């Protein structure tokens, strides 16, 4: 447990240092400190150190793992090996995302290739390949090593990119990752897989250190680098957990990550089939965007910066609840393939139903968190 706090502390200190450096480098406007902060926080899509929060998470993971080298526990060498191998494997996709955060010049194809390279490198370092999905015909196909390698790289790269897709508001991707990692840690504890358990909890500690400065005020953002790192960490841990423990159903990862997986698949469908555009083309039609624009806006109201910040922060809890709807049954039925498959189907139906109701302005009133009859505050423009 002590190493969890090491990861948290290091992540917090490094992230705070990045914020301080960014503030020093800013050209201060003439009016006020508040105005300077408002300018610095004006948009989550901006580039530079304000999107470098992933560095703090990576530093927390690295320092916590290095600190374990002095641990006399017999399991410590295995834990350090697994953790450092995962960090080494994550380097290509993390650096690609970080370069995009700092320069905006890394195309989606380059980042996708980096995700495949990271998945392949980690699979080689840890011999972490998917060899079963608890579907007879697919299990037979995965018995071919080449198929297993390609399938593993596709799934790990997919979940890595899924976390980048859901990273849009303060605390969203980090909170979702924390919930999923706690689910991984619980099942790892049940099957006595200490290496996976420690790697998951260490990541939770590093995320919490970042979250202290990201949520709710958004003093710094996770960025592509941080989102890729968290998605990759989750993906590899799930491959290890299922691959090393035959009692864990291969459908456990699917239900556990049902929210980011549904968001990824539905986004591809929406772009390719409905809009007929490139699947990597960004848009503002994700579920979290709709919740922000059509549900949360009635809770806070106006276009004033202070209300925009509150709306931003209030969006993530909606998605944390949605994530929990997949996580809770996953950790309950982690051994039962049939129940997990039913849960996956139910979540997909509920996701499509909810998305459709919101996009058609037909969301039930209880989805909107405001008191009956209360109207949003009036902005100066509205007077």
The pLDDT score that the predictor gives to residue 179 is 97
Q: What angle, 0 to 180 degrees and rounded to 10, lies between the N-to-C axes of helices 108-126 and 223-244? A: 30
CA angle 336, 136, 234 (to 5 degrees): 55
pTM: 0.89
d(CA 227, CA 326): 20
Selection from 126, 147, 150, 128 nearest residue 138 by Cα:
147
Selection from 204, 220, 170 nearest residue 17 by Cα:
220
d(CA 312, CA 302): 12
The pLDDT score that the predictor gives to residue 379 is 41
Cβ–Cβ under 8 Å, residues 169 and 312: yes
Tokens of 110: 């380059």
The pLDDT score that the predictor gives to residue 27 is 52
The pLDDT score that the predictor gives to residue 301 is 61
The pLDDT score that the predictor gives to residue 283 is 76
CA distances from 381 to 303, 304, 305 (A): 9, 10, 13
The number of domains in the chain is 1
Which range of residues forms the domain containing residue 136?
Answer: 2-382
SS3 per-residue string spanning the chain: CHHHHHHHHHHHHHHHHHHHHHHHHCCCCCCCHHHHHHHHCCCCCCCCHHHCHHHHHHHHHHHHHHHHHHCCCCCHHHHHHHHHHHHHHHHHHHHHHHHHHHHCCCCHHHHHHHHHHHHHHHHHHHCCCCCCCCCHHHHHHHCCHHHHHHHHHHHHHHHHHHHHHCCCCCCHHHHHHHHHHHHHHHHHHHCCCHHHHHHHHHHHHHHHHHHHHHCCCCCCCCHHHHHHHHHHHHHHHHHHHHHHCCCCCCCHHHHHCHHHHHHHHHHHHHHHHHCCCCCCCCCCCCHHHHHHHHHHHHHHCCCCHHHHHHHHHHHHHHHHHHHHHHHHHHHHCCCCHHHHHHHHHHHHHHHHHHHHHHHCCCCCHHHCCCCCCCCCCCCHHHC
- Preceding amide of 126 cis, omega within 30: no
pLDDT lower than 50: segments of the chain: 28, 30-45, 371-383
Tokens 């793992």 belong to residue: 65
d(CA 354, CA 350): 6
The pLDDT score that the predictor gives to residue 365 is 79
Selection from 352, 325, 355, 315 nearest residue 168 by Cα:
315
The pLDDT score that the predictor gives to residue 46 is 57
Cβ–Cβ under 8 Å, residues 19 and 219: yes
Cβ–Cβ under 8 Å, residues 62 and 80: no
CA angle 65, 229, 168 (to 5 degrees): 135
């Amino acid at each position: 447990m002590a190493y969890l706090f090491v990861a948290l502390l290091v992540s917090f200190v490094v992230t705070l240092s990045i914020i301080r450096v960014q503030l020093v480098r800013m050209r201060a406007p003439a009016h006020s400190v508040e105005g300077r902060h408002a300018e610095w926080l004006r948009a989550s899509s901006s580039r530079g150190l304000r999107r470098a929060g992933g560095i703090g998470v990576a530093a927390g993971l690295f320092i916590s793992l290095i600190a374990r080298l002095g641990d006399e526990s017999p399991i410590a060498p295995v834990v350090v090996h697994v953790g450092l191998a995962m960090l080494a494997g994550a380097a290509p996709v993390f650096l690609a995302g970080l370069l995009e955060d700092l320069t905006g010049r890394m195309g989606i194809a380059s980042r996708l290739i980096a995700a495949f390279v990271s998945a392949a490198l980690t699979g080689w370092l840890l011999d972490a390949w998917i060899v079963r999905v608890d579907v007879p015909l697919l299990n037979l196909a995965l018995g071919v090593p080449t198929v297993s390698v390609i399938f593993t790289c596709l799934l790990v790269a997919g979940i890595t990119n899924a976390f980048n897709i859901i990273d849009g508001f303060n605390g969203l991707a980090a909170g979702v990752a924390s919930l999923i990692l706690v689910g991984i840690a619980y099942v790892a504890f049940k099957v006595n897989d200490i290496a996976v358990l420690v790697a998951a909890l260490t990541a939770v500690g590093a995320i919490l250190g970042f979250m202290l400065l990201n949520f709710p005020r958004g003093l710094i953002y996770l960025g592509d680098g941080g989102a890729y790192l968290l998605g990759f960490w989750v993906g590899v841990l799930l491959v290890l957990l299922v691959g090393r423990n035959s009692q864990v159903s291969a459908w456990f990862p699917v239900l556990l990550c049902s929210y980011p997986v549904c968001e990824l698949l539905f986004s591809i469908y929406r772009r390719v089939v409905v809009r007929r555009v490139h699947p990597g083309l960004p848009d503002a039609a994700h579920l979290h965007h709709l919740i922000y624009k059509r549900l949360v806006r009635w809770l806070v109201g106006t276009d004033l910066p202070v209300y925009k910040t509150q709306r931003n922060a209030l969006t993530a809890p909606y998605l944390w609840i949605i994530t929990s709807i997949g996580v809770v049954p996953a950790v309950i039925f982690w051994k039962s393939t049939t129940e997990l498959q039913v849960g996956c189907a139910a979540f997909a139906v509920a996701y499509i139903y909810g998305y459709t109701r919101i996009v058609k302005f037909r969301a039930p009133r209880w989805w909107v968190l405001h008191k009956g009859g209360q109207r949003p505050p009036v902005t100066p423009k509205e007077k």
